[in-house]
Amino acid sequence: DSGVTQTPKHLITATGQRVTLRCSPRSGDLSVYWYQQSLDQGLQFLIQYYNGEERAKGNILERFSAQQFPDLHSELNLSSLELGDSALYFCASSVAQGATGELFFGEGSRLTVL
């Protein structure tokens, strides 16, 4: 158990809909990262938050947004969903900027868009 909790574990929805994925980081971790894992694109970095503020942005679509709340949990919002958004979405957390940069991953939220 990594200590990172993601909900829901599975989600099935239709094209055009909007979903919210939730992540609770490990106790004490200030940084939260979102990654998308799909069969054709591998593991892609989406966005990072540190103590409530956006710190780095990757290949995140404009239809997607995220935020980190004062209690440090984070949400990833996916809107106007398309078939190609079907993927496993991982959240990871880390201490501020630790010596090794180790990330602790949740078990992921599997999104299926029909």
CA distance 71 to 51: 9
Torsion sign, CA atoms 56, 62, 64, 68: positive
Binding flags for other proteins, 22-61, as an x/- string (CB under 8 A): -----------x-x------xx-x--x------xx-x---
Q: How far is the CB of 95 from other proteins (least distance, A)?
A: 10
Q: How far apart are CA 20 and CA 9, in angstroms?
A: 12
Phi, psi values for residue 21, rounded to 5°: -105, 140
- Any contact of residue 106 with other proteins (CB under 8 A)? yes
Residues that bind other proteins (CB under 8 A): 2, 4, 33, 35, 42-43, 45, 48, 55-56, 58, 90, 92, 94, 97-98, 100-108
